[in-house]
Chains A and B, each alone.
Chain A
């Protein structure tokens, strides 16, 4: 009788060795793939990037995002489009300049100029990163590049996923 009551008092211990093995392997895998990249691509979910063999890493400069439905500057929607077609009132008479995009980019350009005049470490760029959906037609890219050029952003860096 005494022996059986002792048996009932025993507490079962969970063996976590196998779990720890798995976590250790996961930890090593994550440490290998860890990279402290300064540039983070914030995708809207409505964008598919093209693929490229380029080796050049992106840096943190002004972002223009063109997803399947919107054009965003620095994360803010400036104008909507339908498969690369903009509303007629959003485009200038010459058919190239996108008015809301131009207004937004001029603000950034002026702010950048002011900052670079105050702090000489800040370079008054003229460079812009273009995150664009792979199916956007060239006529929209042309309009965006023209508009950016008018707002003094004439150097373009296209974002792609490394092949």
Chain B
């Protein structure tokens, strides 16, 4: 019995693991990561002006030979979008197709995207589009129109590139 008691004394009692150094490390790392994390992801949309400047060195990045043959343009007006092409290619009367605003007053980007997809299917080699906003058009509406024109997202087909070369016009000439 006495021997058994001695053995029990030799076993050290169980202690909690000292987690303090690990906690110190984690607390030091978290602020560093918090400073580096981007909770908002920023993206860019490319565009250029049509040749407008008097200075020949400040020409648009879109080369002259890549200028639209169809001359497709989307005007953003108070009534809605007007899709038109040069020389009555799209509309014989030359007036263009009007896509009216929705009943809640916002622009109908989905219908615009549908119509542009139809045009893209008819003219698959056409890559350029001119967006013509009105003077009071908000920047957000211009960006959304660019989004609806550039590519089409659908569940079945994925990303379908439509008119990636967007030029901003808009009565500046």
Contact = CB atoms under 8 A, between A and B. Distances in A.
A53 interface: yes
Interface stretch (A3-11, A114-122, A155-163): A155-163
Contacts of A15: 16
Interface string A26-37: 110011011111
A51 B42 CA distance: 9
Interface in A90-141: 96, 126, 129, 132-139, 141
B98 interface: no
B68 interface: no
Given A138-B134, A138-B139, A146-B49, A155 B41 contact: no
Of the candidates A20, A54, A138, the one having the most CB atoms from chain B within 10 angstroms of its own CB is: A138
B147 A53 contact: yes
A143 to B, nearest CB: 9
B108 interface: no
Contact of B19 (A17, A55, A57, A150): A17
Nearest to A155: B61
A16 B23 contact: yes
B57 interface: yes
Contact of A133 (B22, B59, B139, B170): B139
Given A27-B26, A154-B58, A159 B140 contact: no
A62 to B, nearest CB: 13
A149 B57 CA distance: 9
A22 B46 CA distance: 42
B172 interface: yes
Contacts of B144: 50, 52
Contacts of A133: 139
A106 to B, nearest CB: 12
A58 B43 CA distance: 6
A138 to B, nearest CB: 4
A156 B19 CA distance: 53
A105 B144 CA distance: 28
A135 B140 CA distance: 7
B135 A50 contact: no
B138 interface: yes
A161 B138 CA distance: 16
A15 B54 CA distance: 74
B139 A52 contact: no
A75 B30 CA distance: 29
Contacts of A150: 53, 55, 58
25 contacts: A15-B16, A20-B22, A23-B23, A23-B26, A30-B34, A30-B37, A36-B36, A39-B42, A52-B43, A54-B147, A57-B42, A132-B139, A133-B139, A135-B138, A135-B139, A137-B135, A137-B139, A138-B133, A146-B53, A150-B53, A154-B48, A154-B49, A158-B146, A161-B41, A161-B43
Task: List the 3 shortest-distance A-B pairs measured between CB atoms, nearest first.
Answer: A134-B140, A30-B33, A50-B140
Interface of A: 13, 15-17, 19-20, 23-24, 26-27, 30-31, 33-37, 39, 41, 49-58, 96, 126, 129, 132-139, 141-142, 145-146, 149-162
